[in-house]
Amino acid sequence: EISQLTSKEVKNLIKYDSYLPSWKNSKRTDFYSIYMEKVENLSTLGYGIYSKHHIFSLTDNKISPILNPDNIRLSDLFGYNKERKAVVDNTLSFLSGKPAANVLLYGDSGTGKSSTVKAIANEFKEKGLRLIEISRDNLQAIPIVIDEISKNPLKFILFIDDISFQKNNKEFGVLKSLLEGSASSKSPNLLVYATSNRKHLIKENFSERDGDDIHINETIQETVSLSERFGLSVYFSRPNKEEYLMIVNRLAKQYKIDIKDQELNYEAERYALLRNGRSPRIARQFIENLKGKALN
């Protein structure tokens, strides 16, 4: 093949007398075998931008790679083993072609819901997993995502972070249709992973339960049951003191913080009390603050 020849051999072959940059091949490359190997492994390697990147966002109705994604791994996350395992097992089922569910991770802020989804995307990118993040205000563009990836051999998570709706929100119907798997929105290589601080994703006031709606009970069920359309719901609650200090101590070892356990625990509790209470996020902020002081 011409791709295996040196510059001199190419010039002789095509009878070319003008300038041609000089090169030598240190190794004869079988491009056909490489091509066939990539074709046979498209379900894990991908093609185009999906072979070079694994985290994407939907911007201006276009799927674009995130060039510097959060590289957090599952090993960086402490606590919530049972909750995280449920999401990981669901993802592995999805990647292996077994039945898998759309997932709602809900609960208190700072408990690692979003970090769990990002870590899973990083952990299983070599198995053909890709993540597309879409904002809750842009859900009407979901059909664009489906058209783009429906025939792609890779597996995709459509990630909606911090999701909630006002009553009669126009995006509500789009997500409902996707979760129910209607013909226009279903794609076998796509799952929805969403996070929220609340299980009932539709915000409503008590005053809205009054009024002239004859079928008020049906209306209420419609607004509060969106979360039930996720096949798997995982609750992340605030850690108690023991769980919080466990996370602090494990992070301290990871960051190589040199401080006595008693002092570490005391300062960690004080730090949490001055902020929004205990959470894995507060624990990490505390440890990073200690590390920053040690470096100064």
Specify the DSSP element, H or E, that contains 55. strand 55-59
Q: Which residue has the tokens 């090993």?
A: 75
pLDDT digits (tens, 9 = 90+) for 28-45: 667 677 777 878 888 999
Cα separation, 270 vs 70, in Å, equals 29
The pLDDT mean for the chain works out to: 85
Task: Kindly report the backbone phi and psi dihedral angles of residue 104, in degrees, each rounded to the nearest multiple of 5, phi listed first.
Answer: -115, 120
* Residue 57 DSSP code: E
50-54, 135-139, 148-152, 236-240: least confidently modelled range: 135-139
Q: Is 296 exposed, middle or buried (0-12, 13-18, 19+ CB in 10 A)?
A: exposed
Residue of 278 and 41 predicted with greater confidence: 278
Whether the per-residue pLDDT at 183 is higher than 60: the answer is no
Q: Which residue has the tokens 């674009």?
A: 64
Mean pLDDT of the 139-161 span: 94
DSSP 209-269: GSSS-TTHHHHHHHHH-GGGGSSEEEEEPPP-HHHHHHHHHHHHHHTT----HHHHHHHHH
Give the closest residue to 116 by CA, choosing from 166, 62, 167, 79.
79
pLDDT at residue 216, rounded to an integer: 44
Cα distance between the two ends of the chain: 60
